[in-house]
Structure formats: structure tokens, C-alpha cells
């Protein structure tokens, strides 16, 4: 007769006399196994190894085994030494590469600083040249300066006029043709149009 997991008789069988008998039988089997395993292990240890050659004693066989183990250990030691040497070589190569990178970075920083200094000098020189040329145009007669500025690109001419005092620039603008004066005025008015207001 089968009982479901929820029925009462199956719960009783778990804690009943059958369970107790099963525990005793398993304990007895484990005890017998333990008592028989000790002598079996002793016989195994006392018997010559399976790979022993005929005529060899246990001592010579053990000696051969120890030699094998020693040879294996020596091989592993040599392999570890080779790996250690390779790692040291790699570390040295990395140090050399690191030093080369450091020296290149220093050279690059020096070159960048030198380039900045050269560019600053060039900017100062260009600014000085523009200031001198603006002074030249400002000191010319307005009609002569207007004739020269009219031949220039409107953006370039507007740059000179923006650097001049307003009275001087007004005299030169009066000498320009209406078309040139209009174009330069548009350029001057739009120079700061894209600048942020705040």
C-alpha cells in the first residue's frame, strides 16, 4: 500500500524502527570496512611496488622512486630558473623602454616649450609689424591711404582701420569709393558680432 507524502504512515516510517535498524546496519558496515582497511593498507605498504623489477629489494625500489622524484624536482627547478631569468630579462627590457619613453617625453616637452617661445616671438613681431604699418597708413594723407586701402582685401583693410584713431579712420573712409567704404564698414561692423555678449 502506497502513501502520499502528506499521509501519516510515511512520517512514522522515517522515525520508526526500520530507520533505526537501517542506521545500525550502515554503522556495522562502516565498522567492518574500517577494521579491514587497516591490515589491507599495511599489506600494501609492505609489498614491493608494482613497478619493481624482479630481484630488487624494497629499499632499492624506494631508492629508484626517490631518484625519479628528485630528477623531476630538479627539472622543475631548472624550468623555474629559466622562467625567472626570462621574467628578469623582460623587466629589464621594460625598464629600458620606460627610460626611452621618459627621455622622448622630456625632449618633446622641451621642443613644445621652444615652439611656444618661437610662436610668441613671431606673434610679437607680427603685432609690431602691424602696429608700424598702421602708423604709416595713419600718417599718410587720407586720400593716399584711401587709395591703398581700396586695393586691399576688405577684411585686411578693415583690420588697419580698426587699429587707427577714429578721426584718422574717418578721414581715410571719406576718401574711399562708396562701394569700398560700404564693404569695409560691413566687415568692421561684423567683426565682433559672433563674440559672446555676457
CA atoms within 13 A of residue 33's CA, in its CB half-sphere? 6
* Residue 87 in domain: yes
191 neighbors 162 (Cβ within 8 angstroms): yes
Do residue 147 and residue 177 come from a single domain? yes
- Cα separation of 72 and 38, whole Å? 31
- Cα separation of 149 and 178, whole Å? 13
* Residue 198 in domain: no
Do residue 117 and residue 157 come from a single domain? no
Residue 55 has pLDDT above 70, yes or no: no
Check residue 5 and give its pLDDT: 44
* Residue 184 in domain: yes
Range in 8-17, 70-79, 83-92, 117-126 the model is least confident about: 8-17
Do residue 153 and residue 185 come from a single domain? yes
User: How big is the CA angle at 38 (ends 34 and 43), to the nearest 5 degrees?
Assistant: 145
* Residue 152 in domain: yes
* Residue 95 in domain: yes
Q: Which residues of 64-87 are buried (b: 16+ CB within 10 A; e: fewer)?
A: eeeeeeeeeeeeeeeeeeeeeeee
Q: For 129-143, what is the mean pLDDT?
A: 89
- Cα separation of 12 and 67, whole Å? 63
Confidence of residue 7 (pLDDT cuts 50, 70, 90): very low
Residue ending a domain, among 122, 153, 176, is: 122
Total domain count, the chain: 2
State pTM to two decimals.
Answer: 0.41
* Residue 53 in domain: no
Do residue 180 and residue 145 come from a single domain? yes
Q: Which domain holds residue 111?
A: 83-122
Do residue 149 and residue 177 come from a single domain? yes
Do residue 146 and residue 185 come from a single domain? yes
Do residue 106 and residue 149 come from a single domain? no
Range in 7-16, 43-52, 149-158, 163-172 the model is least confident about: 7-16
* Residue 154 in domain: yes
Residue ending a domain, among 93, 122, 151, is: 122
* Residue 179 in domain: yes
Cell numbers placing 177: 569709393
Do residue 118 and residue 157 come from a single domain? no
Amino acid at each position: 500500500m502506497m502513501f502520499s507524502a502528506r499521509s501519516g504512515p510515511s512520517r512514522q516510517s522515517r522515525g520508526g524502527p526500520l530507520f533505526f535498524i537501517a542506521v545500525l546496519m550502515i554503522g556495522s558496515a562502516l565498522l567492518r570496512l574500517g577494521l579491514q582497511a587497516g591490515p589491507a593498507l599495511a599489506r600494501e605498504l609492505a609489498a614491493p611496488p608494482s613497478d619493481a623489477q624482479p630481484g630488487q629489494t624494497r629499499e632499492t625500489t624506494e631508492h629508484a622512486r626517490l631518484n625519479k622524484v628528485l630528477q623531476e624536482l630538479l627539472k622543475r627547478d631548472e624550468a623555474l630558473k629559466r622562467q625567472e631569468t626570462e621574467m628578469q630579462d623582460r623587466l629589464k627590457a621594460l625598464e629600458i623602454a620606460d627610460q626611452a619613453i621618459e627621455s622622448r617625453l622630456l625632449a618633446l616637452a622641451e621642443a613644445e616649450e621652444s615652439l611656444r617661445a618661437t610662436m610668441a616671438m613671431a606673434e610679437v613681431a607680427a603685432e609690431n609689424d602691424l602696429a608700424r604699418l598702421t602708423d604709416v597708413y595713419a600718417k599718410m594723407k587720407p586720400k593716399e591711404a584711401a587709395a591703398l586701402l581700396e586695393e586691399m582685401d576688405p577684411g585686411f583693410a578693415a583690420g588697419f582701420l580698426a587699429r587707427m584713431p577714429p578721426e584718422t579712420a574717418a578721414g581715410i573712409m571719406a576718401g574711399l569709393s562708396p562701394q569700398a567704404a560700404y564693404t569695409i564698414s560691413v566687415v568692421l561692423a561684423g567683426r565682433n558680432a559672433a563674440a559672446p555678449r555676457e
